[in-house]
Amino acid sequence: MFPTLISIAVILLIAILLIVGIFNKLVTLKNRYENAFSQIEVQLQRRYDLIPNLIETVKGYMKHERETLEAVIQARNQAAGSLQTASQNPSDAGAIAGLAGAEGLLGGALGRLFALSENYPDLKANQNMATLQEELSSTENKVAFSRQAFNDGVTAYNTYKQTFPPVLFAPAFGHTQDAALLEFESEKIKDAPQVKF
């Protein structure tokens, strides 16, 4: 009788430790990807802060390109709003998809602005413009690294949550939905360039 009670107590203790371990790992993994999203937020906010300076720099040179400048401003404001929504709940797949779409629009608007700036030799030679382009390029690289860390964190969280036995306990601990990856459409892989001799 006594050895049976000890065996039951040991089994219950192991089960409790297993459940506590699952709970703690789910919380840890979720906190990691949310922290990684915070790093994306910092870099995107830096990017959004650079855009008004860019607009002011090109405004004097590109007086006839008002529509392009307004499109960049509008896309920047929409992306900033989407970032604010996503930062409130990085677990919300809809908010992450909205941010990705807004970033795609902003990337396209900035691309058109930089393409048009090629038509203005004085603007291309402007030191402020060169500095801002370098800052934006550097920020884009930081966003890419931060996004990779976020997506790695999301993948680790989703993988753990979907494995056995965590899949049995995750819904009871409030982890009902998988986290969404952040993928920007403007970064799609393009076809390799063709070289002909």
Task: For 174-196, write each residue's pLDDT tens digit.
Answer: 999 999 999 986 544 344 444 44
Per-residue pLDDT of 4-46, as tens digits, reads 999 999 999 999 999 999 999 999 999 999 999 999 999 999 9
**Rounded CA separation 155/12 (Å):** 31
Q: Quick one: what percent of the chain has pLDDT higher than 90?
A: 74
Please compute the mean of the pLDDT values over residues 44-56 and round it to a whole number. Answer: 93
**Selected residue with higher pLDDT from 132 and 13:** 13
Q: How confident is the model at residue 156 (pLDDT cuts 50, 70, 90)?
A: very high
As for how many domains the chain has, the answer is 1
The CATH number linked to 176 is 1.20.1440.20
Range of the domain at 125: 26-182
Q: How confident is the model at residue 160 (pLDDT cuts 50, 70, 90)?
A: very high
In a domain, 153, yes or no: yes
Evaluate if residue 141 carries a pLDDT over 90.
yes
Q: How confident is the model at residue 2 (pLDDT cuts 50, 70, 90)?
A: confident
In a domain, 91, yes or no: yes
In a domain, 15, yes or no: no
In a domain, 9, yes or no: no
pLDDT number for residue 194: 46
Evaluate if residue 47 carries a pLDDT over 60.
yes
In a domain, 193, yes or no: no
Largest Cα separation within the chain, whole Å, is 93
Q: Are 124 and 133 in contact (CB under 8 A)?
A: no
Q: How confident is the model at residue 127 (pLDDT cuts 50, 70, 90)?
A: confident
pLDDT number for residue 34: 96
**Rounded CA separation 62/117 (Å):** 8
Q: How confident is the model at residue 152 (pLDDT cuts 50, 70, 90)?
A: very high
In a domain, 93, yes or no: yes
In sequence order, which residues have a C-beta less than 8 Å from that of residue 32 and are 6 or more positions away?
153, 156, 157
Q: Are 62 and 129 in contact (CB under 8 A)?
A: no
Evaluate if residue 64 carries a pLDDT over 80.
no
As a residue count, the chain comes to: 197
In a domain, 16, yes or no: no
In a domain, 115, yes or no: yes
pTM for the predicted model, two decimal places: 0.83
Q: How confident is the model at residue 125 (pLDDT cuts 50, 70, 90)?
A: confident
**Rounded CA separation 112/84 (Å):** 25
